[in-house]
Amino acid sequence: MPNVLSTPPLSPLRRAALPRLTPHLLSDTWREPAIGIVHLGLGSFHRAHQALYTEEAMLAEGGDWGICGVTLQGSVEKRDALVAQDGLYTVVERGPAGVRTTVARALREVLALPHDRARLFALLADARVRIVSLTVTEKGYCRDTRTGDIDREHAGVIADLAHPDAPVTVPGILTAALRQRRLAGIAPFTVMSCDNLAHNGAALRKVVCSYARLRDAALAEWIEAAVAFPSTMVDRIVPATTDADRVTASESLGLHDALPVPCEPFRQWVIEDTFPSGRPAWDRTSAQLVDDVLPFEIAKLRMLNGAHSTLAYLSMLAGFETIDVAIGHAPMHAFIHALMTHEIIPTLQANPAFDPHAYRDALLTRFANPALKHRCAQIAMDGSQKIPPRLLATIDARLQRHAPITGLALAVGAWFVFLRGQADDGTRYDISDPLAARLQGLARQVQPDAWAPGNEAALVDALLGCQDVFPPALAARADFRRPLIDAVRTLQAGARQAIANVHVHGV
């Protein structure tokens, strides 16, 4: 047989290769910083967003703000892959103008719980660590959504209370770390939430303090008085990494990157400037340091995230795989435009620095980015955690004004129908949600085929009974229930027909 020449495997991305990667670096000037930030929840979003801002801040003004990223899923695969690359990875920005690849350097160490607990708590006790940031998604807060306090029935919380020195939950980790700093006489670190929660800093403070109160009332009082929990608003579309992203990174660098991060060119970060122990010079980057994040936060949650969830659930039913394809469907584009214009924008606070209609148009353009291929199934995950801040808060604001909620009801109704686990054409899909089994069980109490025509009212009543999603006062409102029933009934004819026929109007 003839000899077959094979391409030798690429060398891995390592810090030793940085001198020949200058075109892919934010700057060829770099001093390796000590660790000053511990980040819980080392997902793609943090690596494409806060880590880049932090590297830019250190390039602008120096400082030891290197990041230790911590994965919380129990797996060591991501840790080992990033450790093998000296914490380096490629950010692959995909936009209409093309692709840009940037090698990020701010990640100095990677840990995985529960395997690296001792090292994590050694870092959290180090006075040089002055910020602990989080991107753990809504479900990572272990909140009782009815009260905002810690969910005492959460399995992880129960385990943490039984074994407080070996915590597995975010509130348990933060409380244990703050306790050891208090006992050692070390100033507390600042705790910075970067998750999509309304008032995310205040929400995190409440859940941590309520957990700490179950352990030690004096500790809870100290955390309440001494620890800063600034709120933030983060914005960048970051899809899941694909093999195509790995090929793009490898071809661009001439090195193998196992964990590149794809994202859109757009990004935004608004930060409440409350950091008693100091912070990176984020104000020297494009981040906005403000006194009040709330107007930006509400606009992003309701417009971007609310529209994203609406697109996801309608698309899962209609058979659209990615957001750009979904928004490219003319009836869907018209519906999302009307939803934002007539039902969402009127609920936003007036802000001279913010033009909601320009924001709407920019979002529609971002959704249509053909280079991202943001999968609807990814956005549809964890609906029980996302629906309250993204859609129910807007619905409540509309109902308080006695305003119609036709479009918003169709969005929530689409989630109800999504829970049946199959698209309109019969294609089945997985549902990734911590309350999936419970919600489906409530629905099937109606009858085995709860989603069959004729069961709309019973299905809506059953799902509205889940108080971990729907506040009882909202669920009891007839002006909420009736549009939901109408929406579910409309969706029986198929999501595409429902989208084409819905009439959204405001008052």
Domain with CATH 1.10.1040.10 in the chain: 294-501
Residue appearing with tokens 């920005």: 93
Strand order in the sheet with 98-104: 98-104, 89-95, 261-263
pLDDT attached to residue 312: 98
CATH code of 294-501, in short, is 1.10.1040.10
In CATH, which of 3.50.30.50, 3.40.640.10, 3.30.230.10, 3.40.50.720 is domain 15-290? 3.40.50.720
Residue 4 clears pLDDT 50, i.e. is over it: no
Domain with CATH 3.40.50.720 in the chain: 15-290
pLDDT in tens, 316-339: 999 999 999 999 999 999 999 999
pLDDT attached to residue 351: 80
Alpha carbons 134 and 70: distance in angstroms, whole number: 10
pLDDT attached to residue 448: 80
Provide the percentage of residues in the chain whose pLDDT is more than 70. 98
Per-residue confidence at 354, pLDDT binned at 50, 70, 90?
Answer: confident
Residue 37 clears pLDDT 80, i.e. is over it: yes
Provide the percentage of residues in the chain whose pLDDT is more than 90. 93
pLDDT in tens, 269-318: 999 999 999 999 999 999 999 999 998 999 999 999 999 999 999 999 99
pLDDT in tens, 67-85: 999 999 889 999 999 999 9
Residue 58 clears pLDDT 90, i.e. is over it: yes
Q: Is the dihedral of CA 100, 262, 129, 77 positive or negative?
A: negative
| Residues 248/257, Cβ–Cβ less than 8 Å | no
C-beta atoms surrounding 402 within 10 Å? 8
Strand order in the sheet with 107-112: 107-112, 66-71, 35-40, 131-134, 190-193
Residue 198 clears pLDDT 90, i.e. is over it: no
Per-residue confidence at 164, pLDDT binned at 50, 70, 90?
Answer: very high
Return the minimum-mean-pLDDT range out of 8-17, 34-43, 172-181, 247-256. 8-17
Residue 18 clears pLDDT 90, i.e. is over it: yes
pLDDT in tens, 404-443: 999 999 999 999 999 999 999 999 999 999 999 999 999 9
